[in-house]
């Protein structure tokens, strides 16, 4: 089974997608993939989110598609049945943490405080989502957590922008970031897949050229 480390190292940025029209799912995923962003998560915030996961998994098999905004074990298993390669949650209830340990695909729990991180770490999670990153202290918070939690690696998500992404990725404990800027609503609704591909490619080029990412071997 794929590990969450594999998901987090697939791309320096995981595309965060809230898809309102199932017809957009496959072409959006292809555009991101062609632009160099291979990992993407569909947020379970719309009625057809699971169907979008299924479509991407079936029609764009080279994309690493997961489901986020998972709020319960029921959501986790529904995402798995839809074809999600991984799941992520904005927070981390005790029930989800327990179920995630034996889930049939990798689970990335969300934390925003040291207390929440301790609860996840005690159960064996050393890769977590830091959410909402910007509102929860951003880079400064990640630097603070690095001391007592030296073995933990983060995906920083929530309020991260194309401009701020390099600053997060410069931190030794940050493996990747989540970005919704890769799929602007206006471009998705217009079906401008070429423009989205260009945004993805430019983002990957920027992050690949950043000195901090070069030191990490990206």
* Residues with a known catalytic role: 41, 129
Contact 49, 19 (CB under 8 A): yes
Which structure tokens are listed for 176?
A: 């990747």
Backbone dihedral region of 61: left (phi > 0), alpha (psi from -120 to 50 degrees) or beta?
Answer: alpha
Residue among 110, 112, 71 at smallest CA distance from 91: 110
Close Cβ partners of 184 (under 8 Å, ≥ 6 residues apart) = 196, 199
DSSP H or E segment with residue 62: none
Q: CA 111 to CA 132: how far, in whole Å?
A: 8
């Amino acid at each position: 089974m794929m590990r969450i480390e594999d998901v987090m190292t697939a791309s320096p940025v995981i595309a965060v997608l809230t898809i309102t029209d199932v017809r957009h799912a496959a072409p959006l995923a292809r555009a991101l993939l062609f632009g160099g962003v291979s990992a993407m998560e569909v947020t379970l915030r719309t009625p057809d989110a699971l169907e979008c996961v299924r479509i991407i998994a079936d029609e764009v098999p080279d994309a690493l598609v997961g489901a986020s905004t998972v709020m319960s074990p029921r959501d986790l298993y529904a995402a798995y049945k839809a074809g999600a390669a991984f799941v992520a949650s904005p927070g981390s209830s005790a029930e989800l943490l327990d179920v995630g340990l034996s889930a049939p695909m990798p689970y990335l729990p969300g934390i925003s405080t040291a207390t929440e991180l301790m609860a996840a770490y005690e159960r064996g999670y050393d890769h977590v989502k830091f959410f909402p990153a910007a509102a929860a202290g951003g880079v400064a918070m990640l630097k603070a957590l690095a001391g007592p939690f030296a073995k933990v690696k983060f995906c920083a998500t929530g309020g991260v922008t194309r401009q701020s992404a390099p600053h997060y990725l410069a931190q030794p404990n940050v493996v990747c970031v989540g970005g919704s800027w890769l799929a602007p609503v206006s471009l998705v609704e217009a079906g401008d897949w070429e423009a989205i591909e260009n945004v993805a490619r430019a983002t990957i080029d920027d992050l690949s050229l950043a000195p901090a990412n070069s030191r990490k071997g990206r």
